[in-house]
Amino acid sequence: MGKKLLASVIGLMLTAMLAGGAIASEKVYVNGIDFGFPPFGFVDKHGEPTGFDVEAVNWIADKMGFKVRHQPMDWDGIIPALNAGKIDFIASGMSATAERAKVVNFTKPYFRVTQVLVVRGDNTQNLDEILTSGKTVAVQRGTNTVKYLEELAARPGMNFKVAKYDSTDLSMQDLPIGRIDGSAMDSTIAYEMMKGQDYRIAGVFDAESEDYCYAVRKADAELLDKLNKGLDLLKADPYWEELKAKWNIH
């Protein structure tokens, strides 16, 4: 092999090695999502992670120069998974509460939500009537609404049972067949849950409104900064309104 040819081959090998090293070192962040919380984060009929937050984070990752993989998991174990290093952040309709802020850091808020009760369309009772007449109200495990409903059920004059589910959409499978009388959920997902069904909102709970934010580990200041800057860019871009319209988010 001639010297020039050998030099060319070595040059190509070095280029390939450097390129491979760059690819290998490119940071991939894992976003933990709820497996059943449409329209923000869920697994579709093809088994693929999707939803408003999934698409929003994909856009942010592209703009901020990192890769992202979305990992569906049970909601009640998602913060422990974050702090154990199994995922890198949570972008899946998570309410930023003072209790959660003790163990994670939150980005800037991107949605404000209230808590509502969804019932069948043929149920004419209002919220107060349902909560005082021995009915069964469903709620997703690991949400702030669980604690709120348990505290509410203990108040004088209240008379309802709390049924806990792994996801809100699972509770909605039991609503039309009468296993539950209503499902408590964030106002932001109620429209998606009621779409194409004979459901209605029986009322709004008196719980304080909450902000949706992304969550990261306490030590991950760099990632927190990337996500905050990415959210600012996204909310200033026309794509933000397109996403909200696509996923029917009000």
**32-68 confidence digits (pLDDT tens):** 999 989 999 999 999 999 999 999 999 999 999 999 9
User: Which of the four CATH numbers 3.50.50.60, 3.40.50.2000, 3.40.190.10, 3.20.20.70 does domain 28-112+212-247 have?
Assistant: 3.40.190.10
> What CATH number does the domain located at 115-204 have?
3.40.190.10
> pLDDT: is 106 or 4 the higher one?
106
Q: In the chain, where are the structural domains located?
A: 28-112+212-247, 115-204
CATH topology identical between 28-112+212-247 and 115-204:
yes
φ/ψ (deg, to 5) at 215: -115, 140
183, 201 Cβ separation under 8 angstroms? no
Q: Residue 24: is its pLDDT beyond 90?
A: no
E-assigned strands of the chain? 28-34, 36-37, 41-43, 49-50, 67-73, 89-95, 105-106, 111-113, 115-120, 135-140, 160-165, 182-186, 199-204, 210-216
**165-183 confidence digits (pLDDT tens):** 999 989 999 999 999 999 9
